[in-house]
Structure 1
Amino acid sequence: MNSLALLLLSGAILSISNSEAQTKKSDPVKPTIILVHGLWADGSSWSKVIPSLVAQGYKVISVQNPTTSLENDIAATQRAIALAGGDVILVGHSWGGFVITEAGDNPQVKALVYVAAYAPDNGETISSLSDKAAPTQLTSFLQAEGGFISLTKEGVTKAFANDLSAQEQELVFSVQQPTSPEVFKGVASKVAWKQKPSWYIVASEDKTINPDLERLMAQRAKAKTTTLKSSHVAMLSKPNQVLEVILEAAKHVTQ
């Protein structure tokens, strides 16, 4: 091969290498999706959403809340944020919404997704929030044991996961984590939805948190709102629709 051919070949290789480098450099880094469960649940409540997120290239962390106090649950989510090591989206279900409202103050957090969740304002508690709408059936199905509160099986089937199959309801009941009464003393002090873009899923058939309260919280947070005909556990009864909302938030962050 003569010198001219070698020169042309070298130039072509260099051009391809530069093109590949620019492509890699321009590919957006996907945020980590951190999922935060609610009361009387655990990290497995996201089991129908996680595989699809992973399949689309997202790193996912499903937090295991101790549900012993607001401070302890915030700390669990903060550890997950630190572990992610980059941009994150916080997704909170039910009580998990209270947690992400506080933990979302972290600069790594780029968006919030509420799934039939509490989105408190400064100074609010679960009790003061609940007073803004008619009570639901849930309180009729709580039982205390050893200083913790759990949900009866009837509560799971009638007020918590009422649109799931009997087999799925058994699983929800079996994996629930008892809740300390200290949780209900938590007072919101950092309100991330005032600074971060937010999405909210209203569960129109919710018998745990009044759907009217969900709509109120979504509206005042100026969240992009989706309404699903679902029980309280929308991520289990309508996983594909919940996934769509999470992906929409993720794409917003990576644009």
Structure 2
Amino acid sequence: MMSKIKNIVLVHGFWADGSSYSEIIPILLAEGYEVVAVQNPLTSLADDVAATKRALDRIEGQCVLVGHSWGGMVITEVGNDERVSGLVYIAALAPDVGESMIDLMSKYGSPSSHFKEQEGFIWISKEGVKEILAGDLSAEQIALIYATQTSPSTSLTNEKIEKPAWKYKPSWYIITNNDRAVPPDLQRDLSKRMSATTVVLESSHFPIISHAKEVVDAIKKAANHG
């Protein structure tokens, strides 16, 4: 039986781009879904919201909006669009009204020394990719993330949400128990606050690479939601 929703829009996080979903996309396509991966500029929340809305304009009908990491901030704002039927958060930030990334993260620890600021943008070192983002990935995958990273503007950490879509749309949350980027305790608190349907994976911050099948299963459940 084909899913009720056929369109999946994927939103990436810091130090990534749309290709971070390269393990996810072929599986979804093979099962008959239409997929668009947003290329966030990571220059401002407004810019990322605009890029995601352009992706929505490319599809016909309803969609499930998926956000990884910082992408959760973006889908929390864009998810209010009438074309969005459900939200899937993957180790993602899910702010409430007036909350920023700093507001959420600062309660659970301080920034890593692996983050390097340069001209208003934040890079992550190769060691940081391995230790913080991708502890369960291969050396080749870690090298690829480092080489292709999109550095976020420092301003993104203070951006705030006006109307959180998770209060109005069905939501799913994938918690990554071995995450060193978005603390698992924060993920648990956010998913509970959202009353999200929750999946727990023994994964680093990039389950979209290391646990692609399980992530796809969660996306399919959101697409089939009545």
Verify same fold: TM over 0.5.
yes
Q: CA deviation at 1:145?
A: 1.8
Superimposed CA distance per residue, residues 53-81 of structure 1 (whole angstroms, 9 cap, x where no aligned partner): 00111000000000000110011111111
Asked if 1:147 is matched to 2:90, the reply is: no
Instruction: From 34, 40, 54, give the equivalent of 1:65.
Output: 40
CA–CA distance in 2 between the matches of 1:164 and 1:217?
Answer: 26
CA–CA distance in 2 between the matches of 1:234 and 1:81?
Answer: 24
What is residue 159 of structure 2 aligned with on the other side? 186
Structure 2, unaligned stretches of length 5 or more?
A: none
Q: CA deviation at 1:185?
A: 2.2
What is residue 31 of structure 2 aligned with on the other side? 56
Superimposed CA distance per residue, residues 68-126 of structure 1 (whole angstroms, 9 cap, x where no aligned partner): 00110011111111111310110000000000000000000000000000000000000
SS for the counterpart of 1:140 is: coil
Q: CA deviation at 1:162?
A: 1.0
The question of whether the paired residues in 1 share the 8 Å contact of 2:87 and 2:170 is answered with yes
CA–CA distance in 2 between the matches of 1:198 and 1:74?
Answer: 19
CA–CA distance in 1 between the matches of 2:3 and 2:73?
Answer: 30
Instruction: From 95, 108, 113, give the equivalent of 2:70.
Output: 95
CA–CA distance in 1 between the matches of 2:30 and 2:7?
Answer: 13
CA–CA distance in 2 between the matches of 1:173 and 1:48?
Answer: 17
CA–CA distance in 2 between the matches of 1:106 and 1:85?
Answer: 14
CA–CA distance in 2 between the matches of 1:145 and 1:198?
Answer: 36
CA–CA distance in 2 between the matches of 1:196 and 1:30?
Answer: 14
What is residue 249 of structure 1 aligned with on the other side? 222
CA–CA distance in 2 between the matches of 1:182 and 1:85?
Answer: 33
Higher helix share: 1
The AA in structure 1 aligned to 2:160 is V
Of structures 1 and 2, the one with the larger relative CO (CA 8 A, separation 6+) is 2
Structure 1, unaligned stretches of length 5 or more?
A: 1-26
CA–CA distance in 2 between the matches of 1:194 and 1:222?
Answer: 9
What is residue 109 of structure 2 aligned with on the other side? 135
The question of whether the paired residues in 1 share the 8 Å contact of 2:69 and 2:90 is answered with yes
CA–CA distance in 2 between the matches of 1:208 and 1:28?
Answer: 32
Instruction: Compute the TM-score of the two structures, normalised by the length of structure 2.
Output: 0.96
What is residue 120 of structure 1 aligned with on the other side? 95
Asked if 1:217 is matched to 2:209, the reply is: no
CA–CA distance in 1 between the matches of 2:6 and 2:164?
Answer: 21
CA–CA distance in 1 between the matches of 2:11 and 2:33?
Answer: 16
What is residue 8 of structure 1 aligned with on the other side? none
SS for the counterpart of 1:101 is: helix
SS for the counterpart of 2:112 is: helix
CA–CA distance in 2 between the matches of 1:189 and 1:83?
Answer: 25
Instruction: Compute the TM-score of the two structures, normalised by the length of structure 1.
Output: 0.86
Superimposed CA distance per residue, residues 189-210 of structure 1 (whole angstroms, 9 cap, x where no aligned partner): 1110001000000000000011
User: Over the residues paired in the alignment, what is the CA RMSD in angstroms?
Assistant: 1.5
What is residue 170 of structure 1 aligned with on the other side? 143
Q: CA deviation at 1:28?
A: 6.7
Asked if 1:81 is matched to 2:56, the reply is: yes
Q: CA deviation at 1:148?
A: 1.3
Identity %: 46
Change (3 A) 1:56 1:174: same
